[in-house]
């Protein structure tokens, strides 16, 4: 089955530093990837849609200068949390579809637990 690898699984950083999270589709091409944020015992909040070769589409209320997304290839999208602060501490998850169709099942990475101290 389609596999999405997300790295790192956990990261602890100091306030003011930047953190990069990678999301790779291992055995399929993903023209579109999605980035979510999840707070404890809550649902996933879609942050942005990452499109290969073009600018990401951010959801309302998500700062694009804060959460930089790069989708430089058909198998890799990165999310960089810039100048991280404790309130950015959260669980970040990426997902992708094989054909880029919104009607296809989503394949998720295992998430990244970010803790900003």
Partner 1 sequence: SQQGEEDPQALSIQEGENATMNCSYKTSINNLQWYRQNSGRGLVHLILIRSNEREKHSGRLRVTLDTSKKSSSLLITASRAADTASYFCKIQGAQKLVFGQGTRLTINP
Binding site for partner 1 (CB under 8 A): 4, 6, 34, 41-44, 46, 49, 91, 93, 95, 102-103, 105-111, 113
Q: What is the CA radius of gyration of the chain?
A: 13
CA–CA dist 49, 69 (Å, integer): 9
Q: Least distance in Å: CB of 116 to partner 1?
A: 18
Is there a contact between 111 and 11 (Cβ–Cβ < 8 Å)? no
Q: Least distance in Å: CB of 104 to partner 1?
A: 8
- Closer CB to partner 1, residue 44 or residue 82? 44
Three-state secondary-structure class, residue 87: helix
Q: Least distance in Å: CB of 24 to partner 1?
A: 13
- Closer CB to partner 1, residue 70 or residue 108? 108
CA–CA dist 55, 25 (Å, integer): 19
- Closer CB to partner 1, residue 24 or residue 107? 107
CA 19 to chain centre: 12
């Amino acid at each position: 089955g389609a596999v999405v690898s997300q790295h790192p699984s956990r990261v602890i950083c100091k306030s003011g530093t930047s953190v990069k999270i990678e999301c790779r589709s291992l055995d399929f091409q993903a023209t579109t990837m999605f980035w979510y944020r999840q707070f404890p015992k809550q649902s996933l909040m879609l942050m942005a849609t990452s499109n290969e070769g073009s600018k990401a589409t951010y959801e309302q209320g998500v700062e694009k200068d804060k959460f930089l997304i790069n989708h430089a290839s058909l198998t890799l999208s990165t999310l960089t949390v810039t100048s991280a602060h404790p309130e950015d501490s959260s669980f970040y998850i990426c997902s992708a579809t094989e054909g880029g169709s919104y009607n296809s099942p989503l394949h998720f990475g295992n998430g990244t637990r970010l803790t900003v101290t």
